[in-house]
Structure 1
Amino acid sequence: MTQPTPTRAFLGSFTSAGGRGVIATVVDPGTGALTETGVSDVVADPSYLTLGTVDGRPVLYAVSETSEGGVAAFEVEDGKPRALGGRVPVCGASPTHLSVVEGHILTANYGSGSLSVLPIAADGAPGPVSGVLQFDGSGPDPDRQHGPHAHQVVPDPSGRWVLAVDLGTDTVHVCVLHAERGELTAHRRTALRPGTGPRHLAFHPDGRHAYVLNELEPTVTICRWDAEEGLLEPVAEAPVLPEGTEGRSYPSELAVAHDGRWLWVANRGHDSIAVLSLDDSGERAELVTTVPCGGRWPRDLVLDASGERLYAANERSGDVTWFTVDPATGVPERAGSFPAPAVSRVVFG
């Protein structure tokens, strides 16, 4: 019998906190276990990664989450990450997220509250910044919301729009990428409840709903998404921690089941994965339970391509823990872990 080909996973980590940089692994299709195949520490603090394709070959992109901010590209075809050129400045401070859209790299620059656009060259390497979109405003939290803090930038499922989540101003910005000139322009702002501190969003498989995870309050904001108008409309909120939970917790990442039945959230501080059930409309979410994340300070939470396993990147305990998801209940069960100091990101490809 032919065995399925193992998939690959790439891990990002904070080199300034003892991380090893970018780690390449293969994933055992039967168990979900990770096995290291290569590592690169040539870029400082590659905290967030994403994959793109150039001439049919995969290229891994990483932000360099430093005060001066940068991005880098890596060849990964043979399982050993090799930098394509050097780190390229993003003209923004402390980028925390990036996406590849229409031949460009888009970065969300947390420190400067801006988005940057960098064209991708023929060899897959990022070119110089071609555009910067600066946000403004503030929020009620004097420590975390003194100014804009762009935390994520993602394309919508239709490919017509780019959405940016701004923790500092309790806003999701809807933008347009003008690929021909490498620039972003603002289209619309969606205001969320003041002080919630939105961090990341994820779309429902129907493409008509989005879930915005809030960092400063342990909640998720449920939104309708109109791809024709580029309009995001908040309709409800749901808690991601049980009522009466003591101590501060900072939700970090969310994942939506491929069939739209479940929503999972990583909670830093509480060190848990929350399981929320979604109704058929996609507009009601109910907290079912929480389970331990398998470590401390889960910064990333990723569902694999099969939809059967979740992977948590536990930054402070230095490990990636994987879980098998019960399809009937949505509850993850711990299945194993892989050591990765100061790990912050898992991406499959």
Structure 2
Amino acid sequence: MTGREGRARVGQVQEGRVYIGSFTSAGGRGITTAAVDGRTGALTVLGSTDALPDPSYLARGPHRLYAVSEAEHGLVQAFALDAAGLPHPAGPPVPVAGAGPTHLGLAGSWLLTANYTSGSVSALPVRPDGTLGGPAAVLTHRGSGPDPERQQSPHAHQVLADPSGRWVLSVDLGTDSVRICAPVAPDPGAGAPSVHAEVRLPPGNGPRHLAFHASGALVYVLNELRPLLTVCRWDATAGFLEPVGEVPVAPEGAPGSARAYPSAIVASPDGRFLWAAVRGTDTIAVLATAGNPAEPQLTATVPVGGRWPRDLALDPSGQRLYAANERSGDVTWFAVDPQTGLPHRAGSVPVPAASCVLFG
């Protein structure tokens, strides 16, 4: 933990904590801890730790905070949180047996990582105290896509448990597919998840991240190589995913617009709205889902207030949206209009090479 600012503010009464991942190789401070004001949503930086290089994505468990190290020899680290909510390493980092882990998530008694460079998903057992065991079990993806620069091989980009807790969905940008993995056993001794099914999406889309509708019956897959949202029906009983339509997340033919690279998607807890971060255009796309969740409508695009928004997060109340802007080195936050879903910028805080925002 570093910085006078962090030590000076530890005693202040705050209503929550936010953890921000960043790329230390690009000047980031590692994991930054900020207090969040429950009334205004404003963030106040408390301190940071660079105990793990390039902690680009974070996840929260009942006992620990977890981070991936997005490096050639990928690692994952468990952190204990002290009374002020500041993280400290809980044991040594654990190899994931994969390269470039870019995302992680908890499923049952497993911590899973999506390894972009090696195109695989790793599963590590989580002990009862939240620390990590090993070695990792690895699911290696196979295949490619039509884009000669981005899809010559698999590139797992996200791994996420479904709301039922029975399945894990793995999104692969390189193979234009979503893999459904099972079982998510409560006991690591029952074996690591294995591939149950693979669902192909339109070639060249480059799926990156997904989010579930509040009903649990729909999945929204955000594509990076084309600025589109693929809508899928989800059957949690059978573990079946069916694409049913696509919706743009960037206006077509906007004068002077840059190429759009969507990055992250968030669904509102009441099922009425979706928000997608779009790099290049540096916007947040607002989609309404209240009329028909299977046919979301793009209603607005709002400037994100920074450059290259890599991640979006909604606060637990669903009233504020936060964006990690990697290239401008800040986190911006927005008050969300409950009627229209439109985000209105409310503030920002400097965080060099910001890559992820997590409420803790």
Maintained 8 Å contact 1:119/1:182: no
Q: Amino acid of the residue matched to residue 52 of structure 1?
A: G
Query: Over residues 110-135 of structure 1, what are the superposed CA-to-partner deviations in whole Å (9 max), with x where a residue is unaligned?
Result: 11111101112344222223411111
Determine whether 1:237 maps to 2:242. no
Q: Amino acid of the residue matched to residue 219 of structure 1?
A: L
Aligned to 2:78: 73
Q: CA deviation at 1:80?
A: 1.8
Q: CA deviation at 1:322?
A: 0.2
Aligned to 2:198: 189
Matches within 5 A, 1:116-131: 116-131=122-137
Alignment match of 2:44 (pick from 30, 35, 41):
35
Alignment match of 1:82 (pick from 72, 84, 88):
88
Structure 1 range deviating more: 203-212 or 252-261: 252-261
Maintained 8 Å contact 1:130/1:183: no
Q: CA deviation at 1:53?
A: 1.0
Aligned to 2:8: none
Counterpart CA distance in 1 for 2:53 and 2:132 is 16
Query: Over residues 183-221 of structure 1, what are the superposed CA-to-partner deviations in whole Å (9 max), with x where a residue is unaligned?
Result: 121111111000000000000000000100000000100
Alignment match of 1:267 (pick from 274, 278, 281):
278
Query: Over residues 122-175 of structure 1, what are the superposed CA-to-partner deviations in whole Å (9 max), with x where a residue is unaligned?
Result: 442222234111110000001000011100001101111110000000000001
Counterpart CA distance in 1 for 2:136 and 2:346 is 44
Alignment match of 2:346 (pick from 293, 318, 335):
335
SS in 1 for 2:189: coil
SS in 1 for 2:313: strand
Q: Amino acid of the residue matched to residue 170 of structure 1?
A: D
Determine whether 1:100 maps to 2:100. no
Aligned to 1:23: 32
Counterpart CA distance in 2 for 1:168 and 1:322 is 31
SS in 1 for 2:61: strand
Structure 1 range deviating more: 104-113 or 31-40: 31-40
Structure-2 change in CA distance of 1:5 and 1:30 (3 Å): same
Determine whether 1:288 maps to 2:308. no
Q: CA deviation at 1:25?
A: 1.4
Q: CA deviation at 1:285?
A: 1.1
User: Which of the pair is proportionally richer in strand?
Assistant: 1
SS in 2 for 1:180: helix
Alignment match of 2:308 (pick from 297, 300, 303):
297
RMSD (CA atoms): 1.3
Alignment match of 1:214 (pick from 223, 230, 242):
223
Counterpart CA distance in 2 for 1:252 and 1:336 is 21
Structure 1 range deviating more: 329-338 or 245-254: 245-254
Query: Over residues 250-292 of structure 1, what are the superposed CA-to-partner deviations in whole Å (9 max), with x where a residue is unaligned?
Result: 1000111111111100000100001111144310011111111
**Uncovered stretches (5+) of structure 2, i.e. residues with no partner:** 1-12
TM-score with structure 1 setting the length: 0.95
SS in 1 for 2:328: coil
Matches within 5 A, 1:132-281: 132-176=138-182, 177-178=184-185, 179-245=188-254, 246-281=257-292
Aligned to 1:8: 17
Query: Over residues 39-93 of structure 1, what are the superposed CA-to-partner deviations in whole Å (9 max), with x where a residue is unaligned?
Result: 1101000000010013xxxx11000000110100111132221011221110000
Identity %: 58
TM-score with structure 2 setting the length: 0.93
Counterpart CA distance in 2 for 1:166 and 1:77 is 36
Q: Amino acid of the residue matched to residue 314 of structure 1?
A: N
Q: Which runs of 4+ in 1 moved over 4 A?
A: none
Q: CA deviation at 1:182?
A: 4.0
Maintained 8 Å contact 1:13/1:46: yes
Counterpart CA distance in 2 for 1:97 and 1:213 is 15
Q: CA deviation at 1:227?
A: 0.5
Counterpart CA distance in 2 for 1:279 and 1:325 is 16
Maintained 8 Å contact 2:286/2:301: yes
